Structure 1
Amino acid sequence: MAKHHFMGLNLRRKIALKQARFILIIALLLGVFSTGLQIYLDLQQVRKNTTEDIERIISLYRDTATQAVYNLNAFQANEVTSSLISYPTIYHAQLIDDFSETLAEHRRDQTLSSSFLSLPAQQLFDLNRYIEMELDLASVNSGNERARLIVELDTIHVANSFSQRAINSLFLGLMHSVALAAIILLLIYRYLSRPIVQTAKWVNELRSEGKSSVLPYTAEDELGDLVRSFSGLWKDREAVTDKLTKMVAELSESEHFSRSIMDNAGDAMFLCELDSTIFRVNNQGASTLGLSKQQLRNTKLADYSKNYSFDEYLQLCEGISDTQVTTFEDLQINANGKVFPVEARAIKLSLQSHEYLLIVARDISVRKQAEKQIHELAFYDTLTGLPNRRLYLDRLTASLELHQANHSFGAVLFLDLDRFKTINDSLGHGVGDELLNNIAQRLTHVLPIESTCARFGGDEFVILLPETGSSSDVCADVSAHVAQEVLKVMSEPFSIEGHTLYCTASLGIAVFPASDASAQDIIRQADTALYRVKAMGRNGFQFYDPEMQSTAQERLEVEKGLHQALKSNQFVLWFQPQICKDGQIIGAEALIRWQHPEKGLIFPGGFIQVAEESGQIVEIGNWVLREGLKHLAKWRAEGLPESFQRLAINISPMQFMQVDFVDQVISLMDEFDLPGDAVELEITENMLLNNFEVASHKMKLLKGKGVSFAIDDFGTGYSSLKYLRNLPLDILKIDRSFVTGLRSKSEEAAIVEVILATADRLGLLVIAEGVETLEEKETLVELGCDCFQGYLLSKPLPADKFIEFSSANSSAEID
């Protein structure tokens, strides 16, 4: 007996040791392989995600970077590069303009390696650390150079993150494998090794005692067969009885478990006949349909469908298979009449030789509402509720395709509000937003039902008239009528938060289809027509024509040329003397000229407006300020007439409103060692009107340094005694429109007389501009004006000619 016991222990040890050794080795190998495979797949996904993230980040800033290069806006460019390096995967960003000069650059320290896997992971990623993207300035730049946005990636940062995750995955994988091996060993011991030992013991008892105890193992497998062959035939009936009892218990437990799961499920579950007759329903299903389980039993699920008729529902049920889940959406109606969307999943199954349909339905009202909100955010303006640019372009593109096929015509109306910025800045964005909402409502009411009115952003609205007639003439008539209705409804006052506001509009109209123009082309044409309306005085509408496009193209050429002019130092300063009635030169006005390499000398009227609209006026104005003060310092060193008091330099409103303008002027005066009383800055009335408080503060700061201020073109703007009385002004310059053809007793003479009287009371010097005839000068002298500037006295002169003129006239009086 001891020998048999020893054989059992020896058998157990051999089997257990073999099982443990092989299972542990296999588990570790599988764990290492699966973990390695997971790490490799993770590497591929991280590499893909990183590349897509970088492309997405760069695309987010592409348009802003293009605009910054386009406007040579260093501040905006710095915002782009500083924003790019805020992303942990980017440590260096550089924006290079189309002249291959760095417009902005930011860099931060690159991440250091933090683990032994960082460098191998960095090599495995094989990411392009250096990314250079060309910015498309083709529409405004015909040169060979291209603007570029360069970023360098912090691949160590990505590698560190991945390597740490890889280490964790490897460690968890090995732990998982060891735990799995232990569980498998425990299960094998429980269900194989131990039964073998017990069976060996039972066999020994049979041999030693000659009688059989309770069978140690009754499963239907090889070991069970072995046990039953030892127990003999007299044990067969007892073994079969035990087996049937166990199977009945398991089935009962399984049915109870299934029923419990079904009744407590969060989704509605219906066990139906093949014709949708409800055989069994869970608690959630009864609650969803608002009836008890007893009331639902033997009713048809098709009766509660809103999307499908009874026959359609039966046809749907017939297509449900027993191998693949069928998914469909439906609208269900409950006993209370509430209709709600559901997502249903159905499969055919067999229970007790009978076929049923198991349908699981889930209320998706919340998901449908979320999808609706996402759709609205993607295609509608959040402020006004109108379609946005994306939806508008979709509809316009569809209209173009339709019109090309049926040869009908439509129109695009591009609407821009007049004076909206003034209202928004003076009364606040809340009033501005409410005004935009009111305008959207008026447009919606006045436009035809089939039209589409979209908001493109800011105060820009674009209207699509998809069907206006079978000819371009009819289309033009309909479009003009709609434009007139829009202008009429816009002319009515708006009452917002106690304010009565007047806000007119300008409209540009483009008719389509025409010469295979795309949706973007049509919108651009309408925008071009809009600019024509703005130039003609606003509050009207104009149709697009090729001449408008030509004018816009010329403007783009000028804008592009200004970039090159600044780069190549093509600007020069000329100076027009300011002379008193006794012939003495009291000063000069610095006037910019563009020495174009192909077109020759271009006067300010040919490019200043474009510079102001494109924002380049700031850089040009800064150049004029520096060059003017530089010439003034040189003249003072070489000698000027004693009567020469100051040099006048025109300052644009945009330049004047720069944050560092005051510091820049003071710095230049210090650099060229100039006293403030030798400098005169000419500003416009409109600038004072729009930015009175800021302008007043800056003027007082510069006045403290001795700088003089003159109002240029006085009388043509919104003249107000407010800034004449409260601002540190020194000079009024009468606009040439009052001087040209001036004669005694004329209306212009009366206006000039009032200006002179006002200036005299305020102690201001008056200079008349544009004096070209002796009669004009004599009339001005008669009215009391003593200082003049114009062709009668001298045309604007280059710097060297101006010095010669000053020297020749320093002791002579000009008649």
Structure 2
Amino acid sequence: MGVVLSKSLFIKQAVLTLALAIVLSLVTSGIQFVDGIQNQKTQINQDFEELLAVVEKPLSEAVFRLDVSFAQQQIDSLLFNPTIAHLEVRDESGELFVEASAGQRNFALSSKIAEYFLSDLQTYDRALHLESPVFDAGHLLVWPEKRYLLDKIFKEQLSILIYNVFKDLLLASLISLVFYYLVTYPLKRLTESLSTVGHNQDIPLPKSFHRYHQSDELGNLHSTFSSLWKKLNTALSDLERSDSHTKAMIEHAADGILLLDENNQISLMNTAAERMLKNRSDMLQSRSLETLHTASSWPVFYEVLIGLKLNEPVTVETTYRIQGIELPVEIRLAKYRVQDKIETLLLIRDVSERKETEAHIHRLAYYDTVTGLPNRQYLANKLGDTLKSKVQHSHYSAVVFMDLDRFKTINDSLGHNVGDLLLKCVAKQLSSLVEDNVVFARMGGDEFAFLLTHIGNNKEPVERAINGFAESVMYACQQVKTAGHHEVHITASLGATIFNGQEGSVEAILKQADTALYRAKESGRNTFALYKPEMQAVSDARLEMEKALHHATEFKLFELYYQPQTNDKNQLIGAEALIRWKDEQKGFISPATFIPVAEEIGLIVEIGHWVLNEALSQVAIWLKEGKWDLSWRMSINVSPIQFQQASFLPMLKTQLEKHDVPARCVDLEITENMLLNDLTSSLEKMNAIKAMGIHLSIDDFGTGYSSLKYLKSLPIDRLKIDQSFVRDLLTDKSDEAIVHAVIAMAKALKISVLAEGVETLSHYDRLREIDCFYYQGYYFGHPLPPKEFIAEFVHD
């Protein structure tokens, strides 16, 4: 039955319809059969009553007459009726009068079945009674033949049953046929159409289907299927596009993509991963990730991979080994479940460039780009680590600051490229002094530093060791350095501080070393100073000076005083512009005090620009007022740093044009030491200045290191003998000899000479005697502000 019901819908419907028809037919026939038996029983009872009524009177009379043969004859005649099995006639006393039994007959049904169905059909008992004369003759007892009766009933009902079954089967067949043409066949055609329809096609059905089934359930089913098919086509198209899109994204992703199966073996990789790993996907298929990792990185990564939870992505950094080369990578891991399977997705990014950038940034942050040495931040960090060290409290360490003497002059005169080469040379040479407990760093500019850790636990030997170290550094710096095509002689000043962790912060220790360095510079350079507590006051004063100097420069708090320059006839030939600074609290501060500071902190160029602008402005005013003769010169000092600036000549020309001052009224004073740094560049600049019509003088001549070879080639107009020689001219034969030599040399070179520091008549007389005819000093006048200068020295 199960096989039958697994067939087509029509067979299922036909079988079930026929089976149901048979069952219903049998049920109805059974009901009819039971009802027929009841009806037959009633009819049998009625027939027996009628039969007994016929023989009642004859039998009553035969009993009354005691006519046995007649009575026997009567009951024998009754046996011709097949429905009677046995008869008895009993008299009024119950004695058997006559009896008769039907002969042996064969029936299809057994007595038990007949008794089961006709159990309520009992023996018939008919009283025999005569009315005239009145006489109770006895009883007639009749036993029905139940087998015959039941067989008769069955035969009658069987024909009814067969008729009903045939009728019901015929009806079921007709219903099945109608169902087939109305439902099964159209449904079969619809199914066949659905099975043959292609992607993005309509369901192919004949027009008759739509004509006959447009409004019924099959039509609705077709409409529903059509709608679902369109949605399915749309979903399939979207799915195909999504799948193509996903594949395209995977294949064209910049990051490498690996997919691991439940056993953490590679099941998929994209093109980017193949390029990154330099391996084809089929070569790595079903292989473990361990083959990609370095031996040290795999255990750590494996722990992350094993501990990865579902839908909780993790990003890790690890190292692959690709063809013998280590490749740093960043991996985004995500574990998820797809159709009862667990997969792990790896998004792999090559971070070698980032690592190189980070290393570069780290080097930029902690190393000097010029020398390659650690920088200030690196040394400060190491110093901080030293202070935190437990060993530090029982051992002394030291910080040594070093500053190259005259480096600014060299850098400005020879150029920054030469300066950088010199710094590299110094760094390379001093690196040989660095041991395991020494950090050598460039702090910035020309300043270097050494951190010497855990030198010893006794302060005096430590101080001696630091002194010895400083001497070796200074000796190394004194050796001739080659910077490009230049041989440079340079010295260094050093300052150091010793500490054992009790001195406080990193900043405090660095400040102490810087203070000691400043003290060394004050002591004449090329020397070494060890920090003492009393130095701090000097350092603080220096810091205050720097702050005040910045303030004065920003708000132009300087003034220009003018000191007259005269000839041997006591005639004014010009003046020197001298800067003065009057502090609100300290009063006048000597230029000898603040000019070196201005040079060190980089303010000298701005101050020099202001001096030039102010002096030319004052000359312009005096020229307009007729108080300045065109033959007079305004002497203006130019710092070596300012002179070496590339913008100096354009600025000088702009200032002359701005104030409309004749160039012959200007005399620029430069120091002879400036010429040693870069004679070629200085000579070009001096010739350009001379070409503009400006005079040039060498200030403080005799205190530097000029040679006659250089001097004869310079386009200068005047030498100014330093006041240190003039002051002792009358008492020191050496100074007199120097002055004589300078005047004689200048005369031979046709250069005029002006003596500074002429303070007495005796100085004046002696200078005239040795052919010096131009003077400047207190004997002729002190420096004065503009108004006082005009009132004192310029006469209408």
- Measured against the shorter chain, the TM-score band is 0.5 to 0.7
Which of residues 623, 628, 631 is equivalent to 2:614?
623
Name the CA distance, whole Å, in 2 between partners of 1:258 and 1:799: 86
Q: CA deviation at 1:714?
A: 1.9
2:637 equivalent in structure 1: 651
Contact 1:302–1:313 (8 Å) recurs in 2: no
Q: Which amino acid aligns with 1:322?
A: L
- After superposition, give the CA deviation of every residue in 1:205-254 in whole Å (9 maximum; x if it has no partner): 33789988995545999999xxxxxxxxxxxxxxxxxx9xxx9xx99999
Which of residues 321, 327, 337 is equivalent to 2:315?
327
Q: CA deviation at 1:733?
A: 2.6
Which of residues 572, 583, 592 is equivalent to 1:605?
592
Which of residues 529, 543, 546 is equivalent to 2:516?
529
**Within the alignment, does 1:735 sit opposite 2:717 as a pair?**
no
Name the CA distance, whole Å, in 1 between partners of 2:723 and 2:483: 41
Q: Which amino acid aligns with 1:719?
A: S
Contact 1:652–1:683 (8 Å) recurs in 2: yes
Which of residues 686, 704, 721 is equivalent to 1:717?
704
Distance 1:415-1:547 versus aligned 2 partners, 3 A rule: same
Q: CA deviation at 1:682?
A: 4.2
Q: CA deviation at 1:447?
A: 1.2
Q: CA deviation at 1:737?
A: 2.0
Cα RMSD (Å) of the superposition? 5.4
Contact 2:329–2:348 (8 Å) recurs in 1: yes
SS at match of 2:514: helix
1:748 equivalent in structure 2: 735
Contact 1:712–1:733 (8 Å) recurs in 2: yes
2:399 equivalent in structure 1: 412
Contact 1:423–1:432 (8 Å) recurs in 2: yes
Contact 2:387–2:501 (8 Å) recurs in 1: no
| 5+ long unaligned stretches in structure 1 | 1-193, 225-242, 811-815
**Within the alignment, does 1:483 sit opposite 2:470 as a pair?**
yes
Which of residues 368, 383, 395 is equivalent to 2:382?
395
1:184 equivalent in structure 2: none
Distance 1:736-1:430 versus aligned 2 partners, 3 A rule: closer
Name the CA distance, whole Å, in 2 between partners of 1:776 and 1:413: 48
SS at match of 2:692: helix
The correspondence of residues 84-95 of structure 1 with structure 2, limited to 5 A, is none
Q: Which amino acid aligns with 1:484?
A: E
SS at match of 1:660: helix
**Within the alignment, does 1:271 sit opposite 2:260 as a pair?**
yes
- After superposition, give the CA deviation of every residue in 1:510-558 in whole Å (9 maximum; x if it has no partner): 4457776544444444334333333433333333445544334434544
Q: Which amino acid aligns with 2:689?
A: K
Contact 1:688–1:695 (8 Å) recurs in 2: no
Name the CA distance, whole Å, in 2 between partners of 1:723 and 1:398: 53
Name the CA distance, whole Å, in 2 between partners of 1:264 and 1:596: 72
Q: CA deviation at 1:316?
A: 3.7
2:432 equivalent in structure 1: 445
Q: CA deviation at 1:419?
A: 4.3
1:206 equivalent in structure 2: 213
Which of residues 368, 376, 397 is equivalent to 1:381?
368
Distance 1:612-1:200 versus aligned 2 partners, 3 A rule: farther
Name the CA distance, whole Å, in 2 between partners of 1:303 and 1:362: 18
The correspondence of residues 161-560 of structure 1 with structure 2, limited to 5 A, is 205-206=212-213, 215=222, 217=224, 267=256, 269=258, 271-274=260-263, 276=264, 278=265, 280=267, 282=269, 300-302=288-290, 305-306=293-294, 315-333=303-321, 337-349=324-336, 361=348, 363-402=350-389, 406=393, 408-421=395-408, 423-424=410-411, 429-470=416-457, 473=460, 476-495=463-482, 497=484, 499-512=486-499, 518-558=505-545
Q: CA deviation at 1:575?
A: 3.4
**How many residue pairs end up in the alignment?**
576
Name the CA distance, whole Å, in 2 between partners of 1:649 and 1:260: 80
Name the CA distance, whole Å, in 1 between partners of 2:490 and 2:575: 42
Name the CA distance, whole Å, in 2 between partners of 1:295 and 1:655: 71
Distance 1:425-1:586 versus aligned 2 partners, 3 A rule: closer
1:145 equivalent in structure 2: none
Distance 1:761-1:268 versus aligned 2 partners, 3 A rule: same
Name the CA distance, whole Å, in 2 between partners of 1:799 and 1:209: 120
**Within the alignment, does 1:760 sit opposite 2:747 as a pair?**
yes
SS at match of 2:476: helix
Distance 1:752-1:446 versus aligned 2 partners, 3 A rule: same
1:117 equivalent in structure 2: none
Name the CA distance, whole Å, in 2 between partners of 1:554 and 1:459: 23
Distance 1:203-1:469 versus aligned 2 partners, 3 A rule: farther
Contact 2:203–2:226 (8 Å) recurs in 1: no
Q: Which amino acid aligns with 2:475?
A: K
Once the two structures are overlaid, the 10-residue window that deviates more, 253-262 or 543-552, is 253-262
Q: CA deviation at 1:751?
A: 1.9
Which of residues 647, 656, 661 is equivalent to 2:652?
661
Q: CA deviation at 1:715?
A: 1.5
Q: Which amino acid aligns with 1:623?
A: E
Distance 1:647-1:298 versus aligned 2 partners, 3 A rule: closer
Distance 1:424-1:733 versus aligned 2 partners, 3 A rule: closer
1:24 equivalent in structure 2: none
Distance 1:211-1:789 versus aligned 2 partners, 3 A rule: closer
| 5+ long unaligned stretches in structure 2 | 1-200
SS at match of 2:373: coil
Distance 1:352-1:502 versus aligned 2 partners, 3 A rule: same
Name the CA distance, whole Å, in 1 between partners of 2:587 and 2:325: 79
Q: Which amino acid aligns with 2:613?
A: N
Contact 1:572–1:595 (8 Å) recurs in 2: no
Name the CA distance, whole Å, in 2 between partners of 1:362 and 1:803: 80
Q: CA deviation at 1:758?
A: 1.8
SS at match of 1:507: strand
Q: Which amino acid aligns with 1:622?
A: N
- After superposition, give the CA deviation of every residue in 1:562-610 in whole Å (9 maximum; x if it has no partner): 5459958673635356463x76666655555445555455554344444
Q: CA deviation at 1:503?
A: 3.8
1:121 equivalent in structure 2: none
Q: Which amino acid aligns with 2:734?
A: E
1:14 equivalent in structure 2: none
Name the CA distance, whole Å, in 2 between partners of 1:254 and 1:715: 91
SS at match of 2:693: helix
Q: Which amino acid aligns with 1:320?
A: L
The correspondence of residues 772-783 of structure 1 with structure 2, limited to 5 A, is 772=759, 776-777=763-764, 779-783=766-770
For normalisation by structure 1, the TM-score amounts to 0.57
Once the two structures are overlaid, the 10-residue window that deviates more, 308-317 or 410-419, is 308-317
